[in-house]
Amino acid sequence: MIKKTDSKYPLVSICILNHNWEKRLPKSIPSILSQDYPNLEFLFLDNWSTDKSLHYISHFKEIKVIKNKYNLWISAWRNRLGKETKWQYILFIDNDIELTNSNFISKILSDYKNLKNENIWVIFPISLMKWQTEITSSWLYFNKLQKKIPFNELYNTWLFIRPWFSWESFFIEKHIFTSTWWFDEKYLFNIDDYDLSARLYNAWYKIYLDTYIYVIHHWIDTRSSGKPLWWKNQFHFCGFLRMLTKNYLIKNLLIRWFISAWRIIIKTFKQSIKYKSIYPLLWTIKSIFIFFKDLPDTLHQRKICQSKRIVDDDIFLRIK
């Protein structure tokens, strides 16, 4: 039996987030419990599920369940779990993530520890849809268009410095996460991973993509129709422009506002035309009003973010 004080096997907490996704849990939970790492804690935060998620989880006695009486949403989920665990390292994963190997924890912990002298903040694996042959999300830049690369050209190559991290699965040392760097909880749903990534970049923390491991992301069913996503438009404009306002230098801010605002509006028009509905546009108009209503708070947050800034440019990290 491994002692919890054994430095060879530091404590790792796997924190799973869930809300009404019972049908995906049979993919994720077995892969999590099959890990061969000997010193694990399993935390399952259920955000007021009304399906049979809790019934399914009740079959696994090794998983500690934390029940919310209301839906905290994604950013607050992670902040809450960061406070709940007392373990040294945390793997945050969404409930639709399948770990692909039984040594996943051992490998990502080893790679993280090898980067300890690189001012690392977080490391995350490649996230692959079951049907994908190309990776897009790993190559998204703040200031550039998306790029794609075949998965088999990326996998098992190197540890890449990234401009942002993928929040559906990421690995971090707890004291780093809880010291300063929390997710912005202003909106129920917005571009929180972009916001936190930008703040980290400005403070000269490094984000790494670990290409030696990958996860399967089982969320294709949520994109089978545009309608379920329309309500998210009310947080897209205000969330993205809040991120820009908090993190960009004044000399670049206005042009980024203009470009991003028009890109979102044009995308919304296309969405309305595609689904022959005015609702996507109405949600976006609401989001514009929310942005200006919350602008005083956003400017206050900007002052805080800029006071911690070390980097003197807005050219986000490039591929090495």
| CATH code of the domain in which 48 resides | 3.90.550.10
CA distance 162 to 317: 6
For residue 177, is it within any domain?
Answer: yes
Q: Per residue in 99-124, pLDDT tens? A: 999 999 999 999 999 998 888 889 99
Cβ neighbors of 2 (< 8 A, separation 6 or more) are: 9, 38, 39
Find the helix or strand (DSSP H, E) in which 73 lies.
helix 73-84
Q: Can you read off the two tokens belonging to residue 199?
A: 């703040």
Check whether 6 has a pLDDT greater than 60: no
Q: Per residue in 150-160, pLDDT tens? A: 888 889 988 87
Of the candidates 233, 236, 241, the one whose C-alpha atom is nearest the C-alpha of residue 258 is: 241
Count of domains forming the chain: 2
Residue 5: per-residue pLDDT: 44
Q: Can you read off the two tokens belonging to residue 204?
A: 């000269």
Check whether 142 has a pLDDT greater than 80: no
Provide the mean pLDDT of the chain. Answer: 85
Shared-domain flag, residues 183 and 241: no
DSSP H stretches of helix in 173-294: 174-179, 192-202, 233-247, 250-275, 279-293
Q: What's the rounded mean pLDDT across residues 264-282?
A: 91
Shared-domain flag, residues 70 and 183: yes
CA distance 104 to 215: 9
For residue 1, is it within any domain?
Answer: no
Check whether 140 has a pLDDT greater than 50: no
Shared-domain flag, residues 26 and 113: yes
Q: Which one of 103-107, 164-168, 181-185, 222-226 scores highest in mean pLDDT?
A: 103-107
Count of C-beta atoms within a 10 Å radius of residue 237: 24
% of the chain exceeding 70 in pLDDT: 88
Return the ∠ at Cα 14 (arms to 112 and 122), rounded to 5°.
Answer: 30
Q: Can you read off the two tokens belonging to residue 191?
A: 């571009």
Residue 291: per-residue pLDDT: 97
CA distance 274 to 281: 12
Q: What is the tally of helices (H) and strands (E) in the chain?
A: 11, 11
CA distance 14 to 42: 5
- Give the domain-ending residue among 174, 202, 222: 222
* Confidence category of residue 224, pLDDT binned at 50, 70, 90: very low
Question: DSSP secondary-structure letter at 6?
Answer: -
Q: What's the rounded mean pLDDT across residues 57-85?
A: 86
Shared-domain flag, residues 263 and 145: no
The domain of 257 spans 227-307
Residue 72: per-residue pLDDT: 75
For residue 317, is it within any domain?
Answer: no
Question: DSSP secondary-structure letter at 226?
Answer: S
For residue 312, is it within any domain?
Answer: no
* Confidence category of residue 3, pLDDT binned at 50, 70, 90: very low
Q: What's the rounded mean pLDDT across residues 52-69?
A: 93
Shared-domain flag, residues 48 and 148: yes
For residue 246, is it within any domain?
Answer: yes
- Give the domain-ending residue among 188, 205, 222: 222
Q: Per residue in 24-40, pLDDT tens? A: 899 999 999 999 999 99
For residue 237, is it within any domain?
Answer: yes
Helix (H, G, I), strand (E, B) or coil at 97: strand
- pTM, two decimal places: 0.86
- The least confident of 29-38, 83-92, 207-216, 256-265 is 83-92
Shared-domain flag, residues 210 and 303: no
